[in-house]
Amino acid sequence: MLGPTLALLIAFFMLPIGIAAYESFFSWDLITPPRFVGGDNYRAVAAHGELVRVALRTLGYSALVVCGTMSTGLALALLLDRPGRVVAFVRASIFSAYVVSWVAVALLWMWILDPNAGIAGRVLRAFGVTQLSLLGDPRWALPTLALVGTWKLTGYAMIVFLAGLQNIPRPLQEAAALDGARALARLRYVTLPLLAPTAAFVATTTLVTSFQAFDIVRIITQGGPAGATELFVYAVYEQIFLNLSVGRASALTVVFFALLLAAAALQLRAWNVRGGSPR
Amino acid sequence: MTFWYAFGDLNRKILLERVAAFNACQSRIEVKPVHQGDYFEALAKLRTAIAADRAPTLSHVVLEVLPYLARAGVLEPLDRYDGAGSIPFIPALTQAGSFAVDPRDSVFGIPFNRSTPIVFANRHALDRGAVALPSNWEELVDVARRLMRRAANGETRWGFEVPISWWYWVAMVGQAGGRLVDDSGRVTLGGDAGERAIRFWQRLVHEEHVMRPPAGRDYQAWQSTNENFLRGGVAMIWSSTAFVRYLEDNAPFPVVAGPLPRGPVRPSVPTGGTMFVILRAAPAEEKRAAWEFLRWMCDADQVIAWSTRTGYMPVTRAAVERLNAQGFYERHPNDRVAYEQLADVDPWPWEPELFRIERDAVEPRLEAAVFAGRDAHEVMQEAREDARRPG
């Protein structure tokens, strides 16, 4: 029974990673013969702290997107967990952003964030901020991109949290209310603990999605300004397709894989410690 | 015969009209044009297609990548084709004129859409500020200062804008007296001149506050610069002569063009745009068909139709002579700027690593210095190290 899955896993995951690991020891541009360079590609991507910066940037982006998505998704779910046509319409409107492609979302936000003609620029100017370009300033570009990612994923988080909320037995809420627990206390001691598995699911899926961020980087910033939004997947794309360096792209891929492996191991360990390991 | 091209919007429309005209004027060859995104996307696809043995017969590539593709042996030498030596190209726009290369070497690229960077300015803004186009770097600072306008609602019209991009930096390196590669073939990236060019940008952005670098990278930054200019958000820009027609046709004010200001040492501009290349692996019959199409595209009629409607430079003397005789340059003085600026062209080094140096070593450092304020000497030191390291 395990055979087909294992074959697919080997063909589409393990083999490509193995090939990338092998190619990371060569200088190769796709069309001239590869040349063995040992660990030079790893040294090159690590030079001047670039590898660490890309890794930290990707982690920072993911942290912002996961926290932003979970908090706004949960808040909206709590707010909209009630019957009514208007509420249903609002829920559908918020979720619609998740259905739209990343490319369309990126184009929409490029227009919104245009420092001169966009809504964001006008709002900033209304508050007296006249010199700030959210996508043109290296300090603001990554948080701005994370805002776009959060906006896109919030609808998804909201729907999953709504499903989680509706799975919480009503008698528990009613019993707590009869015991005198106010809304905030019920949220803290009943709702949130019972939503923990849902939150873990939302966190994991948005983390995976945010680590794979490519489209919005490619379309909105191309990794700029000054590399401030160069995330892992885009850095790999840039090395192989724009900088003509398969070896360096492969080295980045191997490092990225190792980081994800470490993150997955930590997560599994946390599950095991909490006794939440699925058996 | 398949032809991969990398134009959008107006240039795409004009090119497709030329291809359709070629297909209609004879019955032996059908050119099938395939759009492949912008220059860099098209190049990525071309390399992948070459690796997969699925390359087109004909394409066009940016200048900087020509030495690399030639060294890789994937391009067809074109000098042995019929009439290759008799096309009256403008020398500065040929492979031999655009690169510091031995003129006896094989020819791999035929000039197609060729350009130089030039200055565009809003004539109303110049008139109101009582200033002329700057002729050197110090004048550029002064003119940009005078063109700055800050409205009460916070909206700013900037004095000057240019994409923080390799092509413009190379122009400034030459103007500051440097060369990317020294006489011994060592990659120097202009040495002090490379750093001086960056410091000048830093001064315009962070000290004089007369320039806001456009957001985005590559052609998005170019597009952003053009759009800022068209909507009146900046009074003077550096852009490609390729946009002459686009800017003239879309600006709600008269557009005046001029040569890049001379730097502290000498006037200098690089050439840009692309060259036609035929892929060596294509069947011989298709390569001959591609050559026939190229010959047709180099006829004065086609060169004129292409260049006058886009803004790219006419690539043959015959076309220029005819345009002069027709009084075209009298009616369109902005088109003359790039042509006259050819006198100041610095050829590119014939360096196979040139494209990788541009993308991997230099571009990110320019941004780091201008956007993030990193020290010019430090970033160029890193760029030189990266440039000398194998790719």
Give the 3-state secondary structure percentages of chain B, helix then strand then coil, rounded to 5. Answer: 50, 15, 35
Q: Inter-chain contact A137–B371, Cβ cutoff 8 Å?
A: yes
Q: Please, are residues A258 and A239 in contact by the beta-carbon 8 Å criterion?
A: no
The complex scores an ipTM of 0.80
pLDDT digits (tens, 9 = 90+) for B141-150: 999 999 999 8
Domain limits, chain A? 45-229
pLDDT at residue A277 above 50? Answer: no
- pLDDT of A279 reads 40
Neighbours of A157 (CB within 10 A): 30
DSSP structure class, residue B114: E
Q: State how far the alpha carbon of A155 is from the alpha carbons of A56, A63, A69, A168, A199, in Å.
A: 27, 18, 8, 20, 14
A178 — contact with chain B (CB < 8 Å)?
Answer: no
Q: Please, are residues B260 and B160 in contact by the beta-carbon 8 Å criterion?
A: no
| C-alpha–C-alpha distance, residues B128 and B134, integer Å | 15
CATH architecture of B117-270+353-388: 3-Layer(aba) Sandwich (3.40)
Nearest-by-Cβ selection for B50 from A31, A115, A221: A31
Token pair belonging to B216 = 């985005």
| Residue ranges of chain B whose CB lies within 8 Å of a chain A CB | 40, 44, 47-48, 50-51, 68, 71-72, 74, 150, 153-156, 212-218, 220-221, 228, 231, 233, 355-356, 359-360, 364, 367-368, 370-372, 382, 385-386, 389-391
Backbone phi, psi, residue B37, to 5°? 85, -155
- pLDDT of B152 reads 74
Fold of B2-115+271-338: D-Maltodextrin-Binding Protein; domain 2 (3.40.190)
Which residue's structure tokens are 């890049």?
B260
Token pair belonging to B71 = 């060294």
pLDDT digits (tens, 9 = 90+) for B34-78: 999 989 889 999 999 999 999 999 999 999 999 999 999 999 999
Q: Where in chain B is the domain with CATH 3.40.190.10?
A: 2-115+271-338, 117-270+353-388
A143 — contact with chain B (CB < 8 Å)?
Answer: no
Q: Which residues pair with B372 in a beta bridge?
A: none
Kindly report the CATH number that applies to the domain delimited by A45-229: 1.10.3720.10
Neighbours of A262 (CB within 10 A): 10
Alpha helices in A168-229 (DSSP H): 170-178, 183-186, 192-211, 215-216
pLDDT digits (tens, 9 = 90+) for B297-356: 999 999 999 999 988 999 999 999 999 999 999 999 999 999 899 999 999 999 989 999
